[in-house]
Amino acid sequence: MQRSEFDQYFNDYRKYLREEVHRFHDHITVYRQVQELKYDQLETMNLAPAFFRVTEDALFTSIVLWADKLFDEKGERGFFNFLTLIENNRKWLSVSELQRRRTYPDDHWMLEGRTPITISTIEKDRQKIRDLEALESFRLRRDKFHGHFDKKYFFDRSRLGAEAPIRWFDLNEAGKVMGNIINDYSTDFDGVSYSWETLNIGDLEVLLDHVNRGP
């Protein structure tokens, strides 16, 4: 892949992968808010129980599907494929290429002490994904229930919770690994990094408070 081709391809890949990671973060954040609001807004939420039940189920299904899709080691896109792109084009992610893209002067702070990308660097990122405790849970839930029905889990839903547990910690760790991988290589590419905060997350609580106050 030539320099100009890589620059365009990386920009496009980063753009669309970043959108999917934001989707993952946003779904987790809203799902958690719905769960937590049950403690002090349950009466108000029960004014529309069908809406919140369907929303909650849909959010969790999306979380499972997106995690499995983004972390699928054999997927045509996603993080393993992204890391293969990096591995095959390390020469276009050198410090000199960063300087060229941003026209940094030689003494710019962004160029100081940067560690070159190596095969070992990339393999460590692959291993961070493989080491996620919930990786197998995402895969099992996707393959046996959320993506396809397996009769063993279809007729015994409690087995999913026992055999494929997913904790808040697991969701946060998965989101952190996604965000860090994009930001690390994005910084090497053109010095840009991203925030993964969900915007306007307080909207639901504001809405429920408004209902509580009445007309």
State the pTM of this model: 0.90
pLDDT at residue 215 in the model = 59
Give the whole-angstrom CA distance, residue 24 versus residue 75. 17
- pLDDT tens digit sequence for 34-45: 998 888 888 888
Burial class (CB in 10 A: 0-12, 13-18, 19+), 199: exposed
List the chain domain ranges: 3-213
3-class DSSP assignment, residue 142: helix
- pLDDT tens digit sequence for 146-192: 988 888 889 988 898 899 999 999 999 999 999 999 999 999 999 99
* CA 212 vs CA 34, 46, 52, 54, 205: distances in Å: 16, 12, 17, 22, 10
Find all residues with CB under 8 Å of 95, minimum gap 6, and list them: 111, 114, 116
